Amino acid sequence: MIIDIKNLKKTFDDGKIVALDGINLQVEEGEFISIMGPSGSGKSTLLNMIGALDRPDSGMIKVAGRNLMKEKDLSSFRAREIGFIFQLHNLIPNLTVLENVEIPMFEGPYEDRMDERAMELLEYLGLADKADRLPSELSGGERQRVAIARALANDPTIILADEPTGSLDSKTEKKILEKLKELNREHKVTIVLVTHDPRVASMASRIIEILDGKIVGG
Amino acid sequence: MKFIHLILKNPFRNKIRSILAIIGIAIGIATIVALGIITEGLKESTQETLKAGGADFTIVESNVSDMFLSTIDEDYINKIRDVNGVKEAVGVLTSVQPVEDTPYFVVIGIDPSKITLSQVKIAVGRSIKEEDEIIIGKVASEKLNKTVGDKISIKGENYRIVGIFESGNIQEDGGAFISLKKLQEIEDKEDKVTMIYVKAEKNANIEKIRDQIEEKYGENLTTIASLEDLQSVDQGLKTVDAASWAISLLAVIIGSIGVVNTMIMSVFERTREIGVLKAVGWKNKRILTMILGESLILTLIAAIIGSVMGVTAIQILTHLNMGGFIKPVYSLNIFLKAFIVAIFVGLLGGFYPAYRATRLEATEALRYE
């Protein structure tokens, strides 16, 4: 089991806002799951817990064999095990495509051969000819592919994607989702995708529905 | 990509803001450099004056705030000559006179037969013998456009230039020597001198001679053998030093505020980006290093530009020839100080913004619009 969550709780604003209200979730290595729910349902909070961007109040969460309730060095955990893809690509505007892909490598195993590794990833995503361009010179779909390359930089065990196609047209959306599927199929990367769109969620092999901080289906 | 490469790229994302910050710090650094060059020059020329003619030490009046305000009775010269181990003692009177277009022209009065004890080397003509004769320094000769045979008027009296000298001391080279008697007369300081140069016998113990003099005449006289001795007596040099430090401190404070402001803005604008860096696993230490590094880049560029500005300002001042008093001394220490100040300002000004960047919550930062 790559993700094991038991009775996880998280509140904000001194308990006034209950974001996660006793979540139980188990994910096997190599799965592609979708977490679906309306905005404010707690799906992004859950994703942030799995990615160790935020700490839960109580419960138990184990990811890639590490107990995140006790883990001290969360940044190392993120660098080695997790690849994030955000709704907005969040690329650094003054860095080239290649340099953007290299950003996570400062904290990972490819520090000594960044250029080589980044070029491999860009080739895999069909962006090798755009390596020296700035993000502003790319289309929306291309930027999101760069973001995928960046998420893969340190060879993560899990990819966490928060509305990764939220700002794309449907044709580009399809391409990006197919790429994620291929990644999951061919490279056995576990993928957790958060979306409010049932069409996007249906790309996954399992759909978890979440409402008011509780899992209600899947 | 190297980490340093990333640090170098960031400060110039907002060029105008960074350039303004650099100019602000550079002006501070330029002030430090220019003041340093002047202060060093002042110290060096003072030191040269003390060591005039290979004198072993100089005697000035006790408890006087500035060396050139010292007044000593001429009688002391003979008394000093009688001290055990003293080979020769020569009194000189120093005065500043307006001559032609130069408002500050140093005129030194000395016994013509003792002029050899001063460092003066006659380059053209001969030394003074009569009371209406004068020798002028090489720099003064160029500035006044006068040479041997010409006349110079001081306080309405004409003096014949009989020689041009070089001494290596900027104040002397920009001034002149006349006979002591004559200068005492026109300055209305009969039987007075400013200081006494003392030359010891060969192999004599100079410290012992100084002790004897201080013991006998310590109430009225002070012996000075080095710049350090002088600084404990001379308020002028102390003031210059203190002012130089105060202005440097001010430059540091103003520069730091500029850096803090620039870097806070820069971190604020990149909130979401810093969130991404945290999400991809960057440690706080690396984020701190990046922001501090960017801050240091700004101040180091400012240090280079400021040093050039400071030197240029001094060059312009020297070219304008402000009375020949400024003799620039470009010691390595001045530039070292400028760079140490720049590094200090960079670290001081960058620390708070860098700390704030590390305190950002990744999830909050990623939501930031």
Report the percentage of chain A scoring pLDDT > 70.
Answer: 100
Band of pLDDT at residue B22, cut at 50, 70 and 90? very high
Segment B31-45 shows an average pLDDT of: 85
The per-residue pLDDT for range A87-134, each reduced to its tens digit, is 887 899 999 999 999 999 999 999 999 999 999 999 999 999 999 999
ipTM of this predicted complex? 0.93
Segment B153-171 shows an average pLDDT of: 86
Look at the alpha carbons of A129, A130, A133, A136 in this order and tell me if their dihedral is positive or negative: positive
Segment A60-87 shows an average pLDDT of: 93
Whether B22 is covered by a domain: the verdict is yes
Q: Indicate whether B137 and B98 sit together in one domain.
A: yes
Number of C-beta neighbours around residue B138 at 10 A: 18
- Rounded to an integer, what distance in angstroms lies between the CA atom of residue B301 and that of residue A10? 48
Q: Tell me which of B256 and B324 has the higher pLDDT.
A: B256
Q: What is the CATH number of domain A3-217?
A: 3.40.50.300
Task: Give the nearest chain A residue to B1 (CA atoms).
Answer: A99
Q: Indicate whether B267 and B356 sit together in one domain.
A: yes
Whether B232 is covered by a domain: the verdict is no
Q: Indicate whether B68 and B36 sit together in one domain.
A: no
> Is B98 in contact with B105 (CB distance < 8 Å)?
yes
Q: Where are the domains of chain A?
A: 3-217
Domain that holds residue B204: 57-224
Q: Indicate whether B208 and B243 sit together in one domain.
A: no
Q: Indicate whether B64 and B18 sit together in one domain.
A: no
The per-residue pLDDT for range B196-227, each reduced to its tens digit, is 888 888 888 888 888 888 888 888 888 887 66
Question: B8 in contact with A at a CB cutoff of 8 Å?
Answer: no
**Nearest CA of chain A to the CA of B246: how many Å?**
40
Of A93-102, A179-188, B36-45, B122-131, the range with the lowest mean pLDDT is: B36-45
Segment B294-309 shows an average pLDDT of: 95
> Is A27 in contact with A2 (CB distance < 8 Å)?
yes
The per-residue pLDDT for range B52-87, each reduced to its tens digit, is 556 788 888 887 777 778 889 988 988 888 888 888
What total of structural domains would you count in chain B? 2
Pairing of strands B133-137, B176-179: antiparallel
Quick one: pLDDT at residue B232? Answer: 64
Q: Indicate whether B13 and B61 sit together in one domain.
A: no
Task: Give the nearest chain A residue to B276 (CA atoms).
Answer: A90
The per-residue pLDDT for range B268-297, each reduced to its tens digit, is 999 999 999 999 999 999 999 999 999 999
Q: Indicate whether B205 and B145 sit together in one domain.
A: yes
Q: Under an 8 A CB cutoff, do B9 and A82 touch? A: no
Question: B278 in contact with A at a CB cutoff of 8 Å?
Answer: yes
Quick one: pLDDT at residue B245? Answer: 83
Question: A53 in contact with B at a CB cutoff of 8 Å?
Answer: yes
**Nearest CA of chain B to the CA of A178: how many Å?**
23
Task: Give the nearest chain A residue to B284 (CA atoms).
Answer: A75
pTM: 0.75
Q: Indicate whether B135 and B201 sit together in one domain.
A: yes
- Rounded to an integer, what distance in angstroms lies between the CA atom of residue B76 and that of residue B41? 31
Nearest to B161 by CA among B187, B185, B184, B127: B127
Please provide the average confidence, as pLDDT, over all residues in chain B.
86
Report the percentage of chain B scoring pLDDT > 70.
Answer: 93
